[in-house]
């Protein structure tokens, strides 16, 4: 069994050797052959992790059969990124072994664990989008700002569509409704997508 080690620490003040020793013991115990390692000092919250990206590329090239990692949080701090990483590896035919949680995605229990993570990821995303929609609706109803510009109301969006249907130019709509050119473009683009 060709295995690679993935080790991550968040700051240079932490010791990566704690992970290395545990991984080496597990590899020896299971009789696997270590063919490489990927080490990085980067926060698990960050999306830009060069060693992780390289490991995923090498997995697609079939350079190894399994990834061993000390704990689940070494793969990432966000459930979405953990699920995406495991999914990418599994798609390449590479299984993941997590020492601390004793999870092996090549077993039925490990596959169930990965599916549960995926379910929680989907739930987390759904809840986040719901909270975001509620916040935007609240801000919109109060005439507030969201992001860089002022949000427009549904009434204004309906007005943009109606005025454009009557043949008014984008600039004319901006003046008539006191909305930005970008808001007019975005509203009409979204209308075209929905009607397509």
Question: Is residue 51 over pLDDT 70?
Answer: yes
Task: Report the CATH fold assignment for 2-121.
Answer: Rossmann fold (3.40.50)
192 token code pair:
């075209």
Average pLDDT over residues 13-21: 85
> Which residues touch 141 (CB under 8 Å, ≥6 apart)?
153
Residue 30 is predicted with a pLDDT of 94
Given the structure tokens 């929680």, which residue do they identify? 120
Residue 190 is predicted with a pLDDT of 86
How far is residue 158's CA from residue 43's CA, in Å, rounded to a whole number?
44
pLDDT bracket for residue 175 (50, 70, 90): very high
Tens digit of pLDDT for each residue in 65-124? 999 999 888 888 777 788 889 989 999 999 999 998 888 999 998 888 877 876 776 777
How far is residue 41's CA from residue 48's CA, in Å, rounded to a whole number?
11
What residue segments make up the domains of the chain, in order of their start? 2-121, 152-195
């Amino acid at each position: 069994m060709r295995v690679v080690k993935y080790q991550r620490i968040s700051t240079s003040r932490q010791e990566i050797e704690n992970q290395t020793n545990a991984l080496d013991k597990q590899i020896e115990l299971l009789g696997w052959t270590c063919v490489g390692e990927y080490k990085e000092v980067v926060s698990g919250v960050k999306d830009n992790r060069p060693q992780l990206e390289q490991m995923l590329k090498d997995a697609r090239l079939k350079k190894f059969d399994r990834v061993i990692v000390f704990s689940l949080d070494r793969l990432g701090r966000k459930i979405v990124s953990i699920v995406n990483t495991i999914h990418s590896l599994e798609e390449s035919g590479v299984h993941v072994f997590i020492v601390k949680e004793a999870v092996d995605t090549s077993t039925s229990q490990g596959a169930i664990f990965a599916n549960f993570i995926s379910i929680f990821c989907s739930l987390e995303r759904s809840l986040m989008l719901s909270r975001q929609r509620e916040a935007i609706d609240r801000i919109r109803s109060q005439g507030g700002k969201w992001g860089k510009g002022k949000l427009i109301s549904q009434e204004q969006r309906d007005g943009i569509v109606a005025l454009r249907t009557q043949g008014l130019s984008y600039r004319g709509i901006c003046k008539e409704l006191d909305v930005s050119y970008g808001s007019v473009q975005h509203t009409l683009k979204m209308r075209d997508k929905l009607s397509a």
